């Protein structure tokens, strides 16, 4: 028992440290570090100058600045002023051409749009932050175009290299320490006075609330030293510089903070959320049970750990990710960038996708969801009817002992299933070609006019159906054959003695005994056919005019032709719900799984 | 044991000292192009010691999706070779690194006209062009002696060599594919987008070009039905197609015993303009997630320099973007490369704005419907509506 206690304590320490580290990330402190920078051809001179200086033997930080300024002035006579404030470089110049070139209108417009989207009140505020992400830091190039006497003077705030790292803040650490101690107290008390569990839980809960409120409140943030330093340098620095330049304008200090604050806010929300989940985990005793179980069966858990990891990575992670995306408007225009930032912003979630998919009912529009759903259902039902009737029929034939060469027939009939379905689909597509296809060749032999199969919705549907029936019946046949062979002969003999006809034998002996094997196969077949992507995509391609699309091919096209990932994921969630309800419904009605084991 | 440790330590130090930086390059070349690129990579690795370039082939169909999926996760290559038309989307998705930072001088003069500009998106450069690809007229000199200069000539010639009974056709091209039809559309003066990037696929010129494509098939009857790229290759290789319209990649698919010549696309008799296909400028691009960007840029610079470009032209049979290569006597005397270069002059870069991805599907549906006899105006109006609807839904 003593050993168990150690385990528990170690596990808890690990969790708490991880949690603390994670929370520390929310104070995503930024430390500004300066280097000089270069964009466009203007920057070319600067970078060249710096490179020369840095290569020279007498390289020294303090000389650097002056040397650079000198060289820039030599190389670049348009520059009217260069100032260095607290190690940062500001360059002002009045060359209109350069300003136009360096601050392309598009960037301005984009910034404005972004700010409008972010709900800023004054989107016209002119500034440009040109951001470039590197591994451990973000580069910000900040331009403040300032108007003096109706002329734009550009103030270039040369590269700020903002390093992103996350030291745990002192005040935050203090709270964590309390938090940590309380957990230990909880554990210690737990053995002797279980009644106090609730009380301590409440204390912890209140503490967490305070913590979260504090985190959300930006005032806490201002206390962070690093943060303050940054704010100070940036804005008083620029203001100072502007005064020195005698330009007589003040620059609002909002822009730079905006960028950083935004990303911190999303972190705050996410981590608070995780924090709450963690608290629930503790209060409900789930954590205790969790560790107790793990400790008790640790060998078993160790064995299945790799598998669990694999399943999580390959099944649960994509599944959860897909569902998350379904509630966002994740598309080409906001694809990329910081994914964590995007997904941790609650503003990005909503039910719009589902509403947009489901709101319009129009069976005449081929791209309408309900038309596609109806088509998919019709497709599935027809396919299964053919699969089952052909499969069971052939199985009955093959099961007849009087048939010669049964094995050979069986192998031949399994072939459509054994050949990769891409190849089969492409062959069938070729067979339906108007001029060179085998099907029209046969029709012509019989004296019919050749049919242009892929130009009419009806005929295109038939090409898909033919292909998929060909592909699908062997599976049903195999299942039925297996089930038929396991029916005891005595039952047939008994029914023969009772004088039943062949038909009666079939309905009263064969069918009931086939059912337990066939029902799961049918459920499986339904799901496969419902999502039969290959056949549709390769044979008719969904055409003409999208009339033979299935839900799954539609979802594919939305995701990979229009890059509307969110919308496509919502589509897939609906498909999932449809199939899930079908599965639950059928297994309840037929008691599929139960029947097989009775 | 000590000895072992010593050796381990030695190897470690040695490997650290002489560690090469590995740059991974993805491409989708096959056949001759692949072999030529392999040679270029080999030459590069032998020419210096610091960088090890590794080329990996990824099938073309999966290429763009793989790039889109792999790079944001940091699993993609440092560099990859692809056509310019996806630049817009990839820049918006933060996949492509701007090259403005690395360029030290203006290099736009090094390329054939029209190669450099498509690589620019929102005033920044995102790729260095390596080759230019546009469709052109291939013909079988056994069947056709002098290639047509106008579409009337082309139709007359094609009619002469069309015999449906024997499955012989005068002209074969993927007429139900928007990409191929763009040569007529732009020849008539139609565009996909107007100056403000709004789709205008139902303009009068576009409608006329669709009508023209419909006439070629339904009225003139010089094309086989339901043309796919396999059918183009099969008919040409069986010498049953007199003329085909396809791109430089087709050269690798022509059987060895089948003779072929190329000619630039004819002048559209109705309007007097030359058929103007889409041109794609294929170039090498850099991933934002590359860990060795400076070295990667070195590789990019090497790939577009004269010597590798010459290898790509002569051995890869590629219409390369490097201008100097065309001064080389071997290239200048080549039967095909100067023609490809000439066709480039009569072509328009495929739009690289992200909105373009929304056009393909509705436009292809439209051309299919028109080829099968629907009214071009009505079909294109519908396509235009669909494109606008989808663009709106996607936030444009």
Contacts of A106 in chain B (CB under 8 A): 122-123
Nearest CA distance, A305 vs chain B (angstrom): 25
Q: Chain-centre distance of CA A157, in angstroms?
A: 36
Same topology for domains B21-133+280-349 and B136-276+353-393, yes or no? yes
Q: Is the pLDDT of residue A33 over 70?
A: no
Q: Least CA distance to A541: which residue of chain B?
A: B365
pLDDT at A421: 86
Question: Of A91-105, A188-202, A404-418, B111-125, which one has max mean pLDDT?
Answer: A404-418
Per-residue 3-state assignment (H helix, E strand, C coil) for A420-474:
CHHHHHHHHHHHCCCCCCHHHHHHHHCCCCCCCHHHCHHHHHHHHHHHHHHHHHH
Decide: B95 and B72 in contact? Cβ < 8 Å. yes
Question: In chain A, which residues touch B (CB < 8 A)?
Answer: 38-40, 44, 104, 106-107, 133, 135, 329, 331-337, 339, 356, 367, 433-436, 452, 454-455, 543-546, 557, 560-564, 567
Give B384→chain A minimum CA distance, Å: 14
Minimum mean pLDDT range among A7-21, B14-28, B285-299: A7-21
Q: What is the CATH number of domain B136-276+353-393?
A: 3.40.190.10
Q: Which residues contact A379 (CB under 8 A, 6 or more apart)?
A: A461, A464, A465, A529, A532, A550
* Least confident interval from A231-245, A400-414, A432-446: A231-245
Residue A270, pLDDT above cutoff 90? no
Inform me whether the pLDDT recorded for B265 exceeds 90.
yes
Q: How confident is the model at residue A157 (pLDDT cuts 50, 70, 90)?
A: very low
Exposure on the CB side of residue B317, measured as CA atoms within 13 A: 14
Listing DSSP states for A498-512 in one string gives TT--HHHHIIIIIHH
A-chain residue closest to B227, CA distance? A433
Residue B395 above 90 pLDDT? no
- On chain B, the residues whose CB falls within 8 A of the CB of A455 are 372
Nearest neighbour of B100 by CB, restricted to A40, A331, A557: A40
Q: Give chain B positions within 8 Å (CB) of A435.
A: 167, 224-226
pLDDT at A169 over 90: no
At residue B355 the predicted structure's pLDDT band, cuts being 50, 70 and 90, is confident
Which whole number is the average pLDDT over A182-209?
A: 58
Nearest Cα residue in chain B from A43: B101
Q: Is the pLDDT at A7 greater than 90, yes or no?
A: no
Which residues of B fall within a CB distance of 8 Å from A133? 94, 288
Q: Could you give the CA distance from residue A448 to residue A446 in angstroms, rounded to a whole number? A: 6
pLDDT band at A338 (very low <50, low <70, confident <90, very high): low
Instruction: Using a CB–CB cutoff of 8 Å, tell me whether B93 touches chain A.
Output: yes
pLDDT-based confidence at residue B167 (cuts at 50, 70, 90) = confident
| Over residues A282-289, mean pLDDT | 65
Determine, for residues A106 and B123 on separate chains, whether the beta-carbon distance falls below 8 Å: yes
B394 compared with A160, residue with greater pLDDT:
B394
CB contact (8 A) between residue B354 and residue A333: yes
A332: left (phi over 0), alpha (psi -120 to 50) or beta: alpha
List residues bridging with A161 in a β-sheet. Answer: A33, A139
Better-predicted residue by pLDDT, A154 or B75? B75
Q: Least CB-CB distance to A336: which of B94, B365, B396? A: B94
**Residue B368 contacts by C-beta under 8 Å, 6 or more apart in sequence?**
A543, A544, A545, B176
Does residue A257 carry a pLDDT above 90? no
HSE-up of residue A464 (Cα within 13 Å, Cβ side): 32
The alpha carbon of residue B17 is apart from the nearest alpha carbon of chain A, in Å, by 22
Q: Which CATH class is domain A364-559?
A: mainly alpha
Mean pLDDT of A329-349: 69
pLDDT value for A313: 87
Residue A182 pLDDT exceeds 90: no
Choose among B14, B40, B71: nearest CA to B305. Answer: B40
Task: Using the predicted structure, report yes or no on whether residue B5 has a pLDDT greater than 80.
Answer: no
B396 touches chain A (CB under 8 A): yes
pLDDT tens digits, B95-115: 888 887 677 667 778 888 888
CB A135 within 8 A of CB B291: yes
Per-residue confidence (pLDDT) for residue A25, from 0 to 100: 47
Check residues A120 and B88 and name the one with the higher pLDDT.
Answer: B88
Residue A90's H or E segment, with its range, is strand A88-93
The C-alpha torsion from A81 through A84 and A88 to A91, rounded to 10°, is 0
Q: Note the pLDDT tens digit of each residue in A230-241.
A: 333 333 344 444
State the average pLDDT over residues B222-234: 88
Q: Where are the domains of chain B?
A: 21-133+280-349, 136-276+353-393
pLDDT for residue A110 is more than 50: no
| Residues of each domain in chain A carrying CATH 1.10.3720.10 | 364-559
Mean pLDDT, chain A, whole residue set = 67
Residue numbers in B near A545 (CB within 8 A)? 365, 368-369
Query: What's the topology of domain B21-133+280-349?
Result: D-Maltodextrin-Binding Protein; domain 2 (3.40.190)
State residue A183's pLDDT score: 64
The pLDDT assigned to A192 comes to 46
């Amino acid at each position: 028992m003593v050993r168990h206690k150690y385990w528990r304590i170690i596990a808890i320490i690990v969790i708490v440290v991880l949690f603390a580290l994670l929370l520390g990330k929310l104070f995503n402190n930024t430390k500004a570090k300066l280097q000089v920078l270069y964009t466009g051809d203007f920057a070319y001179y600067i970078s060249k100058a710096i490179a020369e200086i840095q290569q020279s033997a007498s390289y020294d930080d303090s000389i650097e600045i002056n040397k650079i300024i000198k060289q820039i002035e030599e190389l670049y006579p348009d520059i009217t002023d260069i100032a260095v404030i607290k190690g940062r470089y500001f360059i002002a110049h009045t060359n209109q051409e350069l300003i136009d070139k360096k601050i392309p209108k598009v960037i301005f417009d984009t910034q404005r749009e972004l700010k409008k989207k972010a709900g800023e009140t004054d989107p016209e505020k002119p500034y440009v932050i040109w951001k470039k992400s590197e591994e451990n830091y973000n580069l910000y190039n900040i331009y403040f175009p300032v108007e003096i006497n109706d002329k734009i003077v550009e103030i270039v705030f040369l590269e700020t290299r903002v390093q992103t790292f996350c030291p745990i803040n002192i005040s935050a650490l203090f709270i964590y320490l309390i938090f940590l101690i309380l957990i230990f107290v909880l554990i210690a008390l737990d053995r002797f006075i279980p009644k106090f569990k609730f009380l301590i839980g409440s204390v912890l809960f209140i503490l967490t609330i305070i913590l979260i409120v504090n985190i959300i409140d930006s005032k806490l943030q201002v206390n962070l030293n690093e943060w303050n330093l940054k704010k100070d340098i940036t804005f008083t620095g620029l203001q100072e510089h502007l005064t020195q330049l005698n330009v007589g304008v003040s620059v609002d200090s909002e822009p730079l903070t905006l960028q950083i604050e935004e990303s911190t806010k999303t972190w705050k929300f996410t981590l608070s959320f995780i924090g709450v989940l963690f608290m629930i985990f503790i209060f409900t005793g789930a954590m205790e049970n969790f560790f107790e179980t793990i400790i008790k069966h640790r060998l078993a858990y160790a064995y299945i750990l790799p598998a669990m990891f694999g399943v999580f990575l390959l099944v649960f992670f994509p599944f959860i990710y897909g569902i998350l995306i379904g509630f966002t408007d994740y598309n080409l225009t906001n694809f990329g960038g910081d994914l964590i930032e995007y997904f941790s912003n609650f503003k990005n979630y909503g039910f719009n996708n589902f509403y947009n998919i489901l709101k319009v009912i129009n069976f005449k529009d081929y791209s309408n969801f309900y038309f596609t759903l109806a088509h998919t259902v019709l497709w599935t039902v027809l396919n299964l009817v053919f699969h089952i009737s052909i499969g069971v029929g052939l199985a009955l034939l093959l099961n007849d002992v009087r048939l010669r060469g049964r094995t050979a027939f069986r192998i031949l009939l399994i072939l459509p299933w054994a050949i990769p379905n891409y190849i089969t689909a492409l062959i069938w597509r070729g067979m339906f070609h108007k001029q060179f296809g085998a099907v029209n060749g046969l029709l012509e032999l019989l004296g019919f006019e050749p049919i242009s199969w892929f130009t009419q919705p009806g005929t295109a549907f038939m090409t898909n159906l033919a292909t998929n029936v060909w592909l699908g019946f062997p599976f049903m046949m195999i299942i039925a054959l297996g089930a038929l062979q396991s029916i005891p002969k005595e039952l047939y003999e008994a029914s023969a003695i009772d004088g039943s006809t062949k038909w009666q034998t079939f309905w009263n002996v064969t069918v009931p005994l086939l059912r337990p094997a066939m029902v799961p196969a049918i459920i499986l077949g339904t799901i496969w056919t419902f999502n039969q992507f290959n056949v549709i995509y390769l044979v008719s391609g969904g055409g003409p005019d999208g009339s033979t699309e299935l839900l799954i091919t539609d979802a594919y096209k939305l995701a990979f032709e229009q890059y509307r990932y969110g919308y496509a994921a919502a589509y897939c969630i609906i498909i999932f719900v449809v199939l899930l309800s079908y599965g639950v419904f059928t297994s309840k009605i037929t008691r599929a799984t139960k029947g097989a084991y009775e | 044991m000590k000895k072992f440790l010593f050796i381990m330590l030695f190897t470690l130090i040695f490997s650290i000292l002489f560690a090469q930086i590995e740059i991974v390059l993805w491409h989708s070349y096959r056949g001759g192009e692949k072999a030529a690129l392999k040679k270029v990579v080999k030459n590069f690795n032998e020419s210096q010691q610091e960088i090890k370039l590794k080329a990996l082939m990824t099938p073309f169909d999966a290429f763009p999706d793989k790039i889109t999926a792999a790079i944001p996760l940091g699993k993609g290559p440092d560099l990859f070779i692809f056509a310019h038309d996806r630049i817009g989307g990839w820049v918006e998705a933060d996949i492509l690194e701007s090259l403005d930072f690395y360029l030290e001088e203006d290099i736009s003069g090094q390329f054939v006209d029209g190669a450099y500009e498509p690589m620019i998106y929102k005033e920044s450069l995102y790729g260095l062009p390596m080759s230019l690809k546009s469709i052109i007229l291939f013909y079988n000199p056994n069947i056709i002696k002098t290639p047509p200069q106008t579409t009337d000539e082309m139709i007359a010639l094609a009619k002469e060599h069309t015999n449906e009974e024997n499955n012989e056709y005068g002209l074969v091209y993927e007429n139900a594919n928007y990409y191929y039809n763009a040569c007529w559309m732009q020849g008539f003066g139609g565009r996909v987008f107007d100056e403000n990037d709004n789709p205008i696929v139902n303009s009068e010129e576009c409608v006329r070009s669709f009508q023209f494509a419909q006439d070629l098939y339904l009225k003139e009857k010089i094309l086989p039905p339901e043309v796919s790229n396999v059918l183009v290759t099969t008919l040409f290789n069986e010498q049953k197609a007199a003329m085909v319209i396809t791109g430089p990649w087709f050269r690798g698919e022509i059987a060895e015993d089948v003779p072929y010549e190329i000619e630039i696309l004819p002048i559209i008799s109705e309007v007097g303009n030359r058929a103007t296909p889409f041109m794609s400028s294929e170039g090498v691009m850099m991933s934002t997630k590359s860990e060795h960007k400076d070295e990667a840029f070195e590789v990019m610079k090497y790939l577009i320099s004269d010597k590798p470009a010459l290898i790509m032209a002569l051995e890869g049979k590629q219409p390369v973007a490097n201008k100097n290569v065309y001064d080389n006597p071997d290239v200048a005397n080549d039967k095909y490369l100067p023609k490809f270069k000439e066709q480039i002059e009569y072509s328009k870069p495929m739009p690289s704005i992200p909105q373009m991805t929304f056009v393909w599907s509705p436009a292809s549906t439209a051309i299919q419907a028109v080829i099968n006899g629907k009214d071009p105006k009505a079909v294109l109006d519908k396509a235009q509506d669909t494109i606008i609807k989808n663009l709106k839904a996607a936030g444009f």
